Structure 1
Amino acid sequence: MAEDSHSKSSEEKTVKCHLHDRYLKEFLDDNTIGGINHIFRGRSKVRRLLWALIFIGSIVACITLISISFQTFLEKPTASTITVITQDDEGVSFPSVTICNLNLERNESDMVADTGYLLMNHIFNPDENFHLTGLNSSFLLNSCNAISDSFPASFRNTTLWNSQHPQETLDKLIHFCGFVSGINSAVIPCKDAFKPVLTSAGICYTFNGSNNRIHSTGVRYGLKLILNIQQEERPSFNGKSGVKLIVHDGRDIARPNLYGIDVAPAHAVDVGVRRKASKDETNEADCIDSKELPFFSEYRYSQFACRQNAIVENLATSCDCSIHPDRPSSGPYSSTPHCTFDKGCCVLEQYQTFNPELACPLPCYFPYYEHTASYSSFPNGRYLNYLVEETNMSVDYIKDNFLSINVFVDDLQLTTTITKYTFGVAELLGEIGGQMGLFLGISIISIVEVVVLFLDELKRLFCTKKMREKMQDIENAIELPEIEGTDVEEDIDNKV
C-alpha cells in the first residue's frame, strides 16, 4: 500500500510539470527561435536551467547592443563623399565673370553724378569708404532729408540706377575682350556680352559664361580682358584702385562684398577655375531645394540671392520703389517704380536697419567655382608700346589705369561633395536584425510566430462561443489546397 501511494504522489508531481496549452504546444513544435525547445523540452532539469540562463543572457546582450544601435541612429552621424563627373566632348559651360570698378563714377561738375556717387557708396560700402573719416550711414541719414529737399525736382526724379550711366561706363572700362573656346577656335569679340548688374558693391558688369562652352583647358583659352579703370574720372575715395573680379555660376548672383579677386592697375592676373558643387542629403542644416524669389527668378536659389531678394522686396514695400534694374513681370511688384533720389533717404534707412538673415536657409545643392590666381606686372615691352600707339595715351597713364585679366578652365570635370547620413533607417534595421539573429536566431518569421501565439491566446481567453462560430464560418468559406500529412508520409515510405 505504501508503495502504491508513493507512486501515486510521484505521478501527480509529474503531471504538474506538463503544459496543456494547445497554442503554446503548437508554438513550441513549429517556432524558429533558437533555444526555446531546449528550455521546455530538455533531457534534464539541469540542461533546461542552463538553456534558460543562456537564453536570458542572450536577450540581455541583444537588448544592450540594440540600444547602442538606437543611440547611434539618434546621433545622426554624417559623412561626406566626393564624386567626380567627366564631361563629354561637347565641353562645359564657361563660368560667369563679373567685374566691379572699386570706385563709382564721380564728377564734381555734375551734381547728379556726384551726389549719386556719394549715396551709392553709403548704401553699398559704408564701412569701406567712411570709417577713416568717422562718417557713417547714420550721419548721412540725419541730414539726408534736408539735403534732398534742397535739390530741384528734376534731380530728385532721377533714378539711382541711371545716374551712374552704366552702358557708357562699360564702354570706357573694357578696352578689349576676347573669348577662345578651344583648339583652332577663333577669337570671339565679347565686349557686348557684358551687361550691367546691380550688386552688393554697386553697379558691376557680368559676362554670362553659360552662353559659351569651353572645350580646352589652359591659359591659352577662355576669357581675356584688358581694362581701363579711368582713375581721373573715378578717383579713389578710400585709397584703393583697380577692379574686383568675381567668378561664379551663371545662375548665381555675383558676391563682390563676400569674395573675389582684387586686381590693381599695372598688373595681370591669370585665374584658373574648377567646377565644384556641394549637396546636402541630411536634415541637419534645414536646407531647401528652392524658394520663390520674385526679383531674382532667373537665378538658382542660394542664401545670398534670397537675402538680396528680401532686401529689394523690403524696399518695394517700405519705400514703394525698386532699386533692382529688373522688376517681376507679374505679381505685386510688377508696377513698382525704380528708386529715385527722392526715395534715397528711405532706401538708405532700410539698408541700415533691415536684416534678412533669418529668412534665408541654406540650399541643399549649390554649384560654385574654385579658383587659383597668379599675378604679374602689366603692360611691358612691345605690348606697352602697342597700347601707347593705339590709345594715344602716355606710358604713365597706361600704367596707372590699365590691367589685364585672363580667366580659363583648368579642369573639365565636376567635383561634387555629397553629405549624407552614414547610419540611417536601413542600417538600423540591419543592425537590429543582425543582433537578434546572432544572439537569438530570431527573424521576421520568428516575430510573426510570437504575434500569432499572442493572438491565439487572446482568442482563447476572450472570444465568446458566438464569435468562435463566426470565425469558423469564415474558415469554412475559404478554400485552399491541402496536403494530408499522413498521405505524404506514406508516399515517402513507399518510395524509400
Structure 2
Amino acid sequence: MRRHSRSGSTGRIPDHDLEKSREINEYLNFKDKPKKSNFIKDYIIDYTANSNLHGLKYIGEKERTIVEKIFWLFAFICCLVICAGLIGKLWNKWNVNPVIVSFAENPTPVYQIPYPAVTLCFETKAMQRKFNFTEYYHLYNNTETYSNLTEQERHLFEDVSMVCDDHLAPRKGRKTSSGYELVNHITEISPNLTDVFLGCKWKDITKPNCSDLFSPIITEEGLCYTFNTLGNDELFRTENLHSDYRYLEHENLVGSWSLDGGYEPNTPIETYPHRGSGYGAKSGLTMLLKAANLDLDYLCKGPVQGFKILLHNPAELPRVSQQYFRSPLSQEVVVAVKPKMMTTSEGLRPYEAKRRLCYFPNERYLRYFKVYTQANCEMECLSNFTYTRCGCVHFGMPHDSNMSVCNAGSMPCIKHAQMELVTIAIETGLDDSFDADALDNAKKVSAKCDCLPSCTSIEYEAETSQADFDCLALFRAFRYNVSEFVKDVSYARIMIFFKEAQFITSRRSELYGQTDFLANSGGLLGLFMGFSFLSLIEIVYFLSLRIICVLFKRKNKKQMMNFPKDNLTSREFYKSSNE
C-alpha cells in the first residue's frame, strides 16, 4: 500500500504563496521589532551626499573614517568663518560709507547756476544825525542822567543796542518787547538805501536807481540790503510766520529756478534769480557806496567802519553776523567768486538720509522756510532753541506769532543759547551714546535739529583784493566843483564777478550699490565654499519640499506595513488563499 505524506494530505502550498508569506512575515517581524533609526541624522547625510557645497559630501559618506570626517568638518567651518568675516567687512563698508564724493566728468558753465545773492550791511546802525547812540549810551548808563531820559528814549536806546556789540546791551533793559515797534525803531534811524548807495552797475549797465537791484532785508544785523534773493513769499512759509513785519520787502518775481532742479529748460538769460552770464568785472555787479563821516558811530560796532558783505544761496536767509567779508571805507574791494556746487545721484535716494549725509527737498520739512538748506535749518533750529531757553527770540530769527521778541535784557541769554547749541552739537557728534530723551526741553529741541546738508547745494567762495580808493582826488582831477558836504563823505567801491566761466561740480554717488555688494559677497562665497544661488535654492528645497516628500513616503510605507496585521493574520491569509 502506498503511503502518502502529510503534506500531500493537507495540500501543497504553491511557491508563489510561499514567497508572499515570506514577505508578509518580514513585514510583521519589522513591525513587531522596530528598527532603530535617526531620521534627522539620515536626512543630514542625505543632504551632504547631494549638496554641491565643497567638502560636505566627505562628511556624510559612510565609508569615510572619523578622522577624515573631522578633518573636512574643520576645513568647512574654517572657510565658513573666514568668508563670514570678509562679508562682514563688506557689509560694514557698504552700510557705513555707501557714498563717495567725486568730481563731475564735465565742467558746469556759470550760466546754469544763479548769480550769488549779495547782502550788504552798514556798520553804522544809527545815523548820528537821527540818533546819537554814543551820547545816549553814556546817559543811559549814568545813574544821575538815567532818570532824565524819557521812556521813549530808553526804549529806543535798548532797541538799537540789539544790533550793536553784545556787551553794550543793558542788562537792566526790557526782556521782551513788541517786534513791530523794535523793527520800526531800527529802520527809522538806520541809513536808508539812498544814504548808502551812490551808484550801481549790473553786467556793465548803469542802473538809474540802485533800488532796481537792491531791496531792504531784516537780519540779525538790523536793516541791510540784498540783491538776487528770493522774495518773501517764495522763501518763507508766511502762513506759519508772525505778521508784525516782513523780512524781505521786494516784490516776488516769478522765477524759473529751484535749488534741486536748477533753471527750467528754455529759460531766458534774463530771469530771476539772475543767472551768471560770463566771467570778469564787466559781467558782474559793481556798487559805489558812500558814508557821511558825521554819521559814523564808533561805539556801537567798534573802531572799524565800512560794510559787511555776505555771498549766499538765493534761497537762504543770510546770517551776516556769522559769515561775511569786510569792505572798509576809502577802499576798493574786488571779489572774484568761485562757485562750489554739490549734486547727488538718484541712486542714493533709496538710502536713509543719515547714510548718504544729505536731504532731498521733499524729505525734510521746515516750519518757516519753503526751501530746505542747511543754513535755513540751522536758523530755524536756533530760533526754536532760543525760545525754549530764553522764552523769546531775536527779531532777526523767523518765528510765529506766539513767540515773544527779545530785547536788550535778554541779550546775554541769546548769546549763551547760541554757544550752548554749538556745544550740544559737538557733544552729540563726539558721543554716539548721547541720549536726547534724558535731557531738558531745550536740549531735546537741539537734538532734533539734525541739519544735514541739502543733497543739492551751492556755495560761493570769495577771493578778495583791495586798494585805496580816493574818490575826491578823482573829482579834483576832473575839476568838479566839490561842495563841503561831499568832502565830508567817504566812498567805497565793490566789484563782484565770477572768476571763471566754468567750474567743476562735485557729485555724491554710490560707492557700493546693492549689485556691487551682492557680486562681491557672491564671489567670496564661491571662492571659499563653492556657493551659488542654486545652492541657496537647494537649502530651501531640503528644508521644505524634500522634508514633506520624505515624510509622506514614510507614512505610506507604514500604512502598507500595518495593512496585513490589522486585517488578516498570516495563517488566515494562507487558508483563504488555499480555499
Q: How much has 1:92 moved relative to structure 2?
A: 3.7
Q: How much has 1:429 moved relative to structure 2?
A: 3.2
State how far apart, in whole Å, the 2-side matches of 1:189 and 1:412 are. 28
Q: Which residue of 1 aligns with 2:523?
A: 434
Q: Percent identity?
A: 14
Contact 1:312-1:322 at 8 Å conserved across structures: no
Give runs of aligned pairs for residues 81-120 of structure 1, distance below 5 A. 81-83=102-104, 86-87=107-108, 92-107=113-128, 110=131, 118-120=157-159
Q: How much has 1:110 moved relative to structure 2?
A: 4.2
Q: Which residue of 1 aligns with 2:220?
A: 200
State how far apart, in whole Å, the 2-side matches of 1:36 and 1:248 are. 65
State how far apart, in whole Å, the 2-side matches of 1:25 and 1:158 are. 88
Contact 1:277-1:416 at 8 Å conserved across structures: yes
1:214 and 2:276 equivalent? yes
Q: How much has 1:166 moved relative to structure 2?
A: 7.5
Contact 2:339-2:503 at 8 Å conserved across structures: yes
State how far apart, in whole Å, the 2-side matches of 1:63 and 1:259 are. 53
1:254 and 2:275 equivalent? no
Q: Which residue of 1 aligns with 2:235?
A: none
Q: Which residue of 2 aligns with 1:178?
A: 201
Q: How much has 1:370 moved relative to structure 2?
A: 1.4
Q: Which moved more, 1:283-292 or 1:369-378?
A: 283-292
Deviation sequence 1:165-211 (CA, Å, 0-9, x none): 3886211101111100xxxx744456112112122222211111652
Deviation sequence 1:446-486 (CA, Å, 0-9, x none): 12112212335643676698899xxxxxxxxxxxxxxxxxx
Q: Which residue of 2 aligns with 1:191?
A: 210
Contact 1:293-1:309 at 8 Å conserved across structures: no
State how far apart, in whole Å, the 2-side matches of 1:305 and 1:363 are. 8
Contact 2:331-2:493 at 8 Å conserved across structures: yes
State how far apart, in whole Å, the 2-side matches of 1:165 and 1:350 are. 27
- Paired amino acid for 1:252: E
Q: Which residue of 1 aligns with 2:244?
A: none
Contact 2:186-2:222 at 8 Å conserved across structures: no
Q: How much has 1:241 moved relative to structure 2?
A: 0.7
- Paired amino acid for 1:173: V
1:283 counterpart SS class? helix
Contact 1:179-1:189 at 8 Å conserved across structures: no
Q: How much has 1:438 moved relative to structure 2?
A: 0.7
Contact 1:288-1:361 at 8 Å conserved across structures: no
State how far apart, in whole Å, the 2-side matches of 1:388 and 1:363 are. 58
2:124 counterpart SS class? coil
Contact 1:198-1:325 at 8 Å conserved across structures: no
2:198 counterpart SS class? strand
1:229 counterpart SS class? strand
Closer, same or farther in 2 for the Cα pair 1:32/1:66, shift >3 Å?
same
Deviation sequence 1:46-100 (CA, Å, 0-9, x none): 9x97698467425413422431431453362464323366446955421111111
Unaligned runs of 5+ in 2: 1-36, 137-152, 230-271, 423-445, 558-579
Q: Which residue of 2 aligns with 1:80?
A: 101
Q: Which residue of 2 aligns with 1:141?
A: 171
Q: Which residue of 1 aligns with 2:290?
A: 228
Closer, same or farther in 2 for the Cα pair 1:179/1:303, shift >3 Å?
closer
State how far apart, in whole Å, the 2-side matches of 1:25 and 1:309 are. 64
1:403 counterpart SS class? strand
- Paired amino acid for 2:217: V
State how far apart, in whole Å, the 1-side matches of 2:485 and 2:412 are. 44
1:267 and 2:331 equivalent? yes
State how far apart, in whole Å, the 2-side matches of 1:212 and 1:324 are. 25
Q: Which residue of 1 aligns with 2:78?
A: 60
Give runs of aligned pairs for residues 11-22 of structure 1, distance below 5 A. none
Closer, same or farther in 2 for the Cα pair 1:203/1:156, shift >3 Å?
closer
State how far apart, in whole Å, the 2-side matches of 1:194 and 1:409 are. 19
State how far apart, in whole Å, the 2-side matches of 1:292 and 1:54 are. 58
- Paired amino acid for 2:119: T
1:256 counterpart SS class? coil
Q: Which moved more, 1:253-262 or 1:237-246?
A: 253-262
Q: Which moved more, 1:97-106 or 1:304-313?
A: 304-313
1:178 counterpart SS class? strand
Give runs of aligned pairs for residues 148-187 of structure 1, distance below 5 A. 158-165=181-188, 169-180=192-203, 186-187=205-206
Unaligned runs of 5+ in 1: 1-15, 131-135, 150-154, 469-496
Q: Which residue of 1 aligns with 2:538?
A: 449
- Paired amino acid for 2:165: P
State how far apart, in whole Å, the 2-side matches of 1:411 and 1:226 are. 24
Q: Which residue of 2 aligns with 1:377?
A: 468
Scaled by the length of structure 2, the TM-score of the pair is 0.59
Q: How much has 1:236 moved relative to structure 2?
A: 1.9
Q: Which residue of 2 aligns with 1:311?
A: 383
- Paired amino acid for 1:283: K
1:70 and 2:161 equivalent? no
Q: How much has 1:164 moved relative to structure 2?
A: 2.6
1:33 pairs with one of 53, 63, 74: 53
1:361 and 2:450 equivalent? yes
Deviation sequence 1:401-430 (CA, Å, 0-9, x none): 211100001234454444567456554433
Scaled by the length of structure 1, the TM-score of the pair is 0.67
State how far apart, in whole Å, the 1-side matches of 2:358 and 2:111 are. 33
State how far apart, in whole Å, the 2-side matches of 1:404 and 1:205 are. 16
Contact 1:112-1:163 at 8 Å conserved across structures: no
- Paired amino acid for 1:141: R
1:344 and 2:416 equivalent? no
1:66 counterpart SS class? helix
State how far apart, in whole Å, the 1-side matches of 2:287 and 2:342 are. 30
Q: How much has 1:397 moved relative to structure 2?
A: 3.4
State how far apart, in whole Å, the 2-side matches of 1:98 and 1:454 are. 69
Contact 1:101-1:244 at 8 Å conserved across structures: yes
1:245 and 2:309 equivalent? yes
2:182 counterpart SS class? coil
Q: Which residue of 1 aligns with 2:499?
A: 410
Q: Which moved more, 1:425-434 or 1:259-268?
A: 425-434
State how far apart, in whole Å, the 2-side matches of 1:88 and 1:402 are. 34
Deviation sequence 1:325-380 (CA, Å, 0-9, x none): 988xxxx63x989x6xxx73566476356456625322332321112111111136
State how far apart, in whole Å, the 1-side matches of 2:92 and 2:112 are. 44
